[in-house]
Amino acid sequence: MQKIENIILDYGNVIFMIDFMRLQNAFNQLGITNVPEIFGHKGQIELFDDFDRGFIGAGEFRDGIRQLAGNKNLSDAEIDAAWNALLIGVPPGKHDILMQLKSKYRTFLLSNNNVIHYQQCMAHLQEQYGIVDNSIFFERTYYSHTMGMRKPNPDIFAFVLQKEGLAPDKTLFIDDSPQHLRTAESLGMQVALCTADNPLEEIVKSYALI
């Protein structure tokens, strides 16, 4: 194993906790009964992919949700509340780890995100931690909806590696999605799977990062 010089971190369930069951329940309340088939940890339909890549805006996304629910009278607020039910927040201590990592490595955030979730996440950071965004914790932050690309496609990884001049074999990628890790590994990166039983804190310990 090569010495680690760079660390790229995912956001959801690595730093910012999320819960797919909360979203499933919220979408059920809107009238969408087949949530596991259209949106989940392992995959999603084109509507969500396009929103993650910024190919459609919030208005078009909400219209897509109305179509899935079979209810054209759903309000923007109802849809946003259900969509944001996924989001829990950043537990105490996560930001401390990020600052320690930044002091020793080149660190980057690479997140599949969308404009509605992004705004809610940043509002959480402002309300709970008094910071505007994630920029203080990383050399640079990358969000899919501003890049026109999303994980697990190789182009988004290749873009970050090339733009930042990172040697893949000296770069550790931490994510909670096995399909994302497989792509990163195929490009020569070192990878670590973040789970409830192996959270960021344990990964940092096992790799002796700080």
Q: List pLDDT tens digits, range 116-151.
A: 999 999 999 999 999 999 999 999 999 999 999 999
Backbone angles phi, psi at 7, to 5 degrees: -130, 125
pTM over 0.85: yes
User: Does residue 25 form part of some domain?
Assistant: yes
Q: List pLDDT tens digits, range 158-187.
A: 999 999 999 999 999 999 999 999 999 999
- If asked whether residues 11 and 27 sit together in one domain, one would say no
Q: How many domains does the chain have?
A: 2
- If asked whether residues 39 and 78 sit together in one domain, one would say yes
Range of the domain at 10: 6-16+91-206
pLDDT of residue 1: 59
Residues, the chain: 210
> What DSSP assignment string belongs to 173-208?
EEES-HHHHHHHHHTT-EEEE--SSS-HHHHHHHTT
Q: Say how far apart CA 143 and CA 52 lie, in whole Å.
A: 9
**Domain of residue 189, CATH code:** 3.40.50.1000
pLDDT of residue 37: 87
User: Of 82, 71, 67, nearest to 28 (Cα)?
Assistant: 82
Domain boundary among 37, 61, 86: 86
- If asked whether residues 130 and 148 sit together in one domain, one would say yes
- If asked whether residues 50 and 129 sit together in one domain, one would say no
Domain boundary among 67, 86, 105: 86
Q: List pLDDT tens digits, range 5-58.
A: 999 999 999 999 999 999 999 999 999 999 888 887 667 889 999 999 999 999
